[in-house]
Structure 1
């Protein structure tokens, strides 16, 4: 199975279609699709990335601007003594000057500005992926905790169902009063666990609410299922796809920008030419004349060596930063992939042996308890084993989908996650 096909299948699972997309701003039930859409619309990080594009676009426009001409006025031979008293012998010159950039300096400056704009545009794609991935993970966490509470509710109900039978056994002298307390204690412990999970769910709901733009949760629950899972592609396919991640792609633009900056630093010592043309008026004779001049700086003392060295180091640093960034992404992807694979193996064991055997044992022991063949402790142990197996399944399912969402945020092409409405 190719990486693309496998990831499409996995992402179709993580979208957790639990009903039509919520069209209202504050739906009673929140779906994955609606959460992704609202996260994209509300993310301040995405807004900041868009402003960075605007900043880079302004810098790109400015990089292509031509140098402004200069106008000057000079007056000689005036306000002196003798023949030069007052302005009778004055010579007035009105002049306009223009510097002409040579050696491709303007082109290098434009290339640096364009590369900066490209980098900002790609960075926005990276931020968008992160927002989608974080929102998907937050959604899965809420959905998983909701399911965990359901399992604990079922365990409390199972304990409560044996209470009437236990009472009849106590009245008949078949069980001691202490067993009633044991059942009540078992129920209380499960309820205590449920309260702890409810606290975690409240935090997870708040985190999801903030991601979709609400200061507090305005949805009653999230809709979806964690049941379905799929076989992932090989890890090498994931690593190969990471090279398309915007975080890595943007380094190409940054490298181009640093290269243009190095070229600009090397070109700076090459002199530019300033051409001037003016009109001179001789008051004493009433004559006038045109004045031409050219000026070229002599790069004797400043060869821009320091800036050239700095630009060279910055270019070399860019290559090292990309390698470090890629290594970090591979480590994160590796952790998520290992978690995904471990969750699949755990689910296989639980679904093939753990849950079926625990369910059958709990049913048989509960039925035998009514016939006096098993003790209350055996019933409670069987129910607890079944509940723990289901809780382990829920945890493995949640870990699987969190890992998928994490990998989706790293592979550059988010497939299903990208189907959320663009801003």
Structure 2
């Protein structure tokens, strides 16, 4: 199990030690390195904000699904203990020639035998049981590793969602402020007779639509807060996610992403299942070996008043393999898992390729918005505003220019959110830290 100090939130770099157990085959699993931490580090810390490190810590401590693992671990330890238990000896007592007729009447001719026998397992059965229990324990551990990656990825995904919605709220407030200012200017010009009342109505309609959208975003933010706090089964005691969205300075190389397939949690779990299946096959083969039952005892003959030792040896007649069906089934399961491993590696590569291409597309979109589309939209809006002041453009043109600029800004926010989600998906699939370090991801002011 992991150990942690509950009294403080860990700083960047210590969160890895916080939740990585010792002896983990999936040592590369490090969702704490999800570069989303770069989204939050460096932002001003407020009492009503929640950081990603706090989200991770609280999720690990209190997520109901992860709390089952200690019980599962104790069960696996008990099964390993059971696998190593040797057979107990047997004590037997037999009485012959009693309660009959003639010389066998009563107990005068009784022959009493007291013996102790021990089953001796051959073929390494006990060692094979121990090996299977150990393999199943590692499989359970790896299953937990995959489950933990999934849970932490979901917590991070919900954190991103809150960050996304609150960014949209800031964008919506700026839009409403600009439209409110524009409405006041148009109303002033309308009172002066410079524009028609229809221009005022058009701008008022645009502002009303933006206000409605803002209220809807507020409800989405409230839901996002509750969904995030639900990851640690609590009510939200925060108002905002700490930090701001921004574009990563670098993205992982495709070769590094594809090379990480061999360390993917799903693939490692399938490997452990394969090891367990091989151990099961070896146990089935060992169970087909015959065992010895050795005994020694004392025999008492009441008629002759004699006492002697008795030795016994029981060996089964192996006319056929007693475990051939189980052995065949175990070997088929082992072969099936080997084929599933190859199939999964191929599927993971396809999934990673699809996510990576989507990541590149969103990155290209943000770059185009920053360097071409948004500057052109800003230039168009300034030109329309200037022309509107001189009466060369109407309100419809002004509304179109304003809407176009804000639509492009909304696209940029959505694209940034998509980029972080896709980086998260790459790390969830591979279990590896593929995104940039937090030092290159300081938040925007």
TM-score relative to the length of structure 2: 0.85
Q: Does 1:282 align with 2:306?
A: no
Please tell me whether the aligned partners of residues 18 and 225 of structure 1 are also in contact (alpha carbons under 8 angstroms).
no
Tell whether the 8 Å contact from 1:129 to 1:414 is kept in structure 2 after alignment: no
Residue deviations 1:149-200 (CA, integer Å, cap 9, x gap): 2112211111110222211211121111111111111112222323333343
Q: In 2, Cα distance between the equivalents of 1:366 and 1:127? A: 55
Write out per-residue CA displacement over residues 44-101 of structure 1, whole angstroms, 9 at most, x where no aligned residue: 2222344333322222221111112111111111111222222222122221111111
Cα separation, 2, equivalents of 1:254 and 1:9: 27
Q: Secondary structure at the match of 2:429?
A: coil
Structure 2 regions of 5+ residues with no counterpart? 1-27, 439-445
TM-score by length of 1: 0.89
Classify the secondary structure of the residue corresponding to 2:112: strand
Q: Which moved more, 1:156-165 or 1:13-22?
A: 13-22
**What is the root-mean-square deviation of aligned Cα atoms in Å?**
2.6
Q: Matches of 1:92 and 1:20 in 2, distance apart?
A: 90
1:386 aligns to 2:405 (yes or no): yes
Contiguous gaps of at least 5 residues in structure 1? none
SS of 2:92 mapped into structure 1? strand
Name the counterpart of 1:249.
268
CA deviation map 1:81-139 (0-9, x unaligned): 22222222212222111111112222222111111111111222222222221111111
Query: Which residue pairs with 2:248 in the alignment?
Result: 229
Paired residues of 2:97 and 2:104 also in contact (CA < 8 A): yes
Equivalent residue of 1:413, what SS? coil
Q: Given that residues 118 and 250 in structure 1 are in contact (C-alpha distance below 8 angstroms), is that contact kept between their aligned partners in structure 2?
A: no
CA contact (8 A) 2:120 2:291 kept: yes
Q: Assess if the C-alpha contact under 8 Å between 1:10 and 1:230 holds in 2.
A: no
Pairwise CA distance, 1:294 = 0.6
Equivalent residue for 2:311? Answer: 292
| Contact 2:250-2:436 at 8 Å conserved across structures | no
Distance (Å, rounded) in 1 between the aligned partners of 2:348 and 2:63: 23
Residue in 2 that maps onto 1:357: 376
- Cα distance in 2 for residues equivalent to 1:154 and 1:20: 21
- SS at structure 2 position matched to 1:227: coil
Q: How many residues align?
A: 409
Distance 1:13-1:37 versus aligned 2 partners, 3 A rule: closer
Superposition deviation, residue 416 in structure 1: 8.3
Give the match for residue 129 of structure 2.
Answer: 109
Partner residue of 2:176? Answer: 156
- SS of 2:40's partner is coil
Contact 1:244 1:413 in 2 (8 A): yes
1:171 aligns to 2:224 (yes or no): no
> Which residue, out of 148, 158, 161, partners 1:128?
148
Q: Residues 279-300 of structure 1: CA distance to partner in whole angstroms, max 9, x if unpaired?
A: 2222334332221101011122
Correspondence 1:34 to 2:58? no
Q: Which residue of 93, 110, 117 corresponds with 1:97? A: 117
Change beyond 3 A, Cα 1:204–1:12: closer
d(CA) in 2 for partners of 1:10 and 1:228? 14
SS in 2 for 1:278: strand
Q: Is the 1:275–1:293 contact (alpha carbons within 8 Å) kept by the matching residues of 2? A: yes
Q: Which moved more, 1:176-185 or 1:327-336?
A: 327-336
Specify the SS of the correspondent of 1:276: strand
Alignment partner, residue 65 of structure 1? 85
1:198 aligns to what?
A: 218
The answer to whether the 8 A contact 2:43-2:244 is kept is no
Contact 2:63 2:231 in 1 (8 A): yes
State the shift of 1:201 in Å: 3.0
Q: Does 1:303 align with 2:327?
A: no
- C-alpha separation in 1, matches of 2:158 and 2:32: 20
385 and 10 in structure 1: CA distance in 2 versus 1, 3 angstrom threshold: farther
Whole-angstrom CA distance in 1 between matches of 2:388 and 2:366: 30
Answer yes or no: is the 8 Å Cα contact 1:93–1:280 preserved in 2.
yes
* Corresponding residue number in structure 1 for 2:19: none
- CA–CA distance in 1 between the matches of 2:140 and 2:179? 59
Cα deviation, residue 250, structure 1: 2.8
- 1:407 is the counterpart of 2:426: yes
The SS at the match of 1:74 is strand
Give the conservation status (yes or no) of the 8 Å contact 1:14–1:404: no
1:317 pairs with one of 307, 322, 336: 336
Could you say which residue in structure 2 is the equivalent of 1:11?
35
In structure 2, C-alpha distance between the alignment counterparts of 1:71 and 1:113, rounded to whole Å = 30
Task: Find the aligned partners of 2:90 and 2:34 in 1 and give their Cα distance.
Answer: 65
| 8 Å contact from structure 2 (residues 123, 287) kept in 1 | no
